[in-house]
Structure 1
Amino acid sequence: MIPAQFDYERPASLAEACQALAEDDEAKVLAGGQSLLPLLRLRLAYPSKLVDVGRLDELKGVHDRGDHVFIGAMATHDEVMRSPAVTSGCPLVAMATSHVADPAIRHRGTFGGSLAHSDPAGDLPAVVLALDGVFVARSAQGEREIPAAEFFVDYLESSLAQGEILAGVKIPKLGDGWGFHYEKFHRTAQAWAIVGVAAAVRRSNGAITEARIGLTNMGPTPLRARATEAALRGVELGDAVRQACEQAAEDTSPPSDLHAQPDYRRHLARVLTHRAVRTAAGSP
């Protein structure tokens, strides 16, 4: 299909981009375009203006900043998954990013664009949520930081205000003793997750001392499996881990669609959480 008519603007700076958005309530940001352009073609989105930020160097790059890694919003998925700062400092991000679609999309799609799109079936939102990432937004009024727990508001809706642009994301480095794994169940290699689980697990003296678990496509936003996280604290590997992971689907509201019903997604959440936690904890 042919998109509805819209204006197009390519600002020369981030400040100009923020101003262009602030002037038009119906304007949308165009980054890699891998999510927005299909919506335009299907006429599921009707922006009055596209503000193209693809050439803004201020939004690019991956930077090691000591206690965290700052990933610019315009860093492509391929750049993120291959970045030494990411693979060493926050490997769970690299793992999950390698599951995003296919190589062609990973070379064009952007880290920030995927997160700002706020699709609960996307691979990255649950990962950033599990790692307690911090979103950095810029506007004509300045800069503000948004904790991941407050960023995802509803289906395809974030807490970015009109006139704000996602500049990048701070991913904390969790340090020694942590293991990571991303488990995804999907129909084909390029498909969205039917269910996905991002797990970060810290062990000490054979027992799990802390676990962080993000759930993909188990509600209108990415979710934390809080009941399982609490149940895993102090547990040694074995049947107790399986029992804790049986609580992974608590307080979720998985969607019903052509690919899976809610009860099947809840079953997948329990199974995949157990796999992800065991792998992250170093158990075969």
Structure 2
Amino acid sequence: MPEGHTLHRLARRHQQRLAGAVVRVSSPQGKFAAGAARVDGRVLVRSQAWGKHLLHEYEGELYVHVHLGLYGTFTESEPPMPEPVGQVRMRLTGAGRDARGFGTDLRGPTACEILTPPETAALIARLGPDPLRPDADPELAWARIRRSRRSIGSLLMDQRVVAGVGNVYRAEVLFRHGISPERPGVELTAGEWSALWADLVELMRVGVRRGKMHVVRPEHDHGAPSYAADRPRTYVYRRAGEPCRCCGDPVRHTVLEGRNLFWCARCQPV
């Protein structure tokens, strides 16, 4: 599932290419036809991300909310757009600040819906602080973590605690700080949480700038290749059974609350 940096990168792209001008919105697939009709021909006021949620604000206080889920993706092309291929849930075209125009197709999202301002506020209120938002308050997350007996590995994946963190950032930031994913939140110190948060902010900002995650420190960025040809190296994510880049012990794997969990028992002792 795309993590927060992907949504912030999309939001920035749509803000740059579409905001401030009339946008044509359609649903070639038909599943979003009624919603598309409500915002078609309106000015896109702002595009922003909250965690893993993308929000397009249109004039008239209407919002289009997109959650990509496991399979959602946006593809781009310059107008005139070709005939839709596959199940295009939503098509956006407009000029924005660029006279050449811009178009993008959304396929396979978990959510693509119209929200009113109260519904949008309720969605945002359910989310924890987002490390990529300048208005995020890490103390809100810490207030939950320090009182919880749930593991920090679970808490980091809970979007009500921290918004935007997914499986890769969870595994890698805990490794970088030598913290076992099994440690209960109540056993984390304030200093450890401050360091984790600061690292998440920096790592996720790198992801927005580069369009890919870069989580391995330069001194460790060698040896065994990445888990996929088009991905940077990771310390533990999807490296079960392979030697740890720092100590050589085999990377561990289990399933925690339905999601794969990776860690090194020696570098991240309980």
Question: What is the TM-score when the length of structure 2 is the normalising length?
Answer: 0.29
More strand by share: 1
Question: What is the TM-score when the length of structure 1 is the normalising length?
Answer: 0.28
